[in-house]
């Protein structure tokens, strides 16, 4: 059975295996730990105690921000990212967020398509926002109103 629950410190080892496998520029364990400590919404999606993916959301002064979302490579394209995103959007609503923002690499067409399907709209462009294997890469900024 697949369920979504809060991320705990002891999950970070399993989270880092996915993060290191999927991302060219992975977050460090300390970043995940800090997000838990400051009280951001940090969620893991698991099946029979195995972490399949995770998503993190911060909400400040009515503004939500999806900080990270990632699935094991072999569990992508099975609707789990959609499920995790819907969970984070529900949490954002509970935390009285009016709008949720996120950034995505211009090259990440799959994630971009997922966000557009979930009702996010393009609201900006940040030049050279991300490190990339060839230098820097631009970000597309998307937002979804929850009002």
- Residues within the interface to ligand COA (CB under 6 A): 22, 69-71, 76-82, 104, 108-111, 113-114, 117
What is the nearest approach in angstroms of ligand COA to the Cβ of residue 85? 8
Nearer Cβ to ligand COA (96/107): 107
Active-site residue flag, 112: no
Strand order in the sheet with 41-47: 2-6, 41-47, 50-60, 63-71, 99-105, 135-145, 121-132
Nearer Cβ to ligand COA (16/22): 22
Active-site residue flag, 101: no
Query: Tokens standing for 107?
Result: 């090259």
Nearer Cβ to ligand COA (124/147): 124
CB neighbours (10 Å) of residue 60? 10
What is the nearest approach in angstroms of ligand COA to the Cβ of residue 74? 11
Q: Which residue, judged by CB position, is nearest to ligand COA in the bound state?
A: 81
Residues making up the chain, counted from first to last: 147
Nearer Cβ to ligand COA (21/34): 21
Of the residues 19, 40, 115, 137, only one is catalytic, namely: 115
What is the nearest approach in angstroms of ligand COA to the Cβ of residue 23? 7
Q: How far apart, in Å, are the Cα atoms of 2 and each of 45, 50, 98? A: 7, 9, 29
Please give the Cα distance from 87 to 105 (Å, whole number). Answer: 22
Q: How far apart, in Å, are the Cα atoms of 136 and each of 24, 126, 139, 145? A: 12, 11, 10, 29
What is the nearest approach in angstroms of ligand COA to the Cβ of residue 51? 13
Residues carrying an active site annotation: 103, 115
């Amino acid at each position: 059975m697949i369920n979504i629950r809060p991320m705990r410190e002891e999950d970070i080892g399993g989270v880092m295996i996915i993060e290191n496998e999927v991302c060219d520029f992975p977050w460090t364990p300390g970043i995940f730990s800090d997000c838990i400590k400051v009280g951001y919404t940090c969620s893991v999606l698991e099946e029979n105690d195995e972490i399949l993916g995770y998503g993190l959301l911060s909400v400040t002064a009515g503004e939500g921000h999806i900080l990270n979302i990632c699935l094991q490579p072999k569990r992508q394209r099975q609707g789990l990212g959609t499920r995790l995103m819907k969970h984070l959007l529900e949490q954002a609503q509970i935390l009285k967020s009016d709008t949720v923002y996120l950034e995505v690499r211009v090259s990440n067409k799959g994630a971009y398509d997922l966000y557009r399907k979930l009702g996010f709209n393009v609201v900006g462009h940040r030049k050279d926002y991300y490190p990339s294997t060839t230098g820097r890469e631009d970000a597309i900024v998307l937002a979804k109103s929850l009002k």
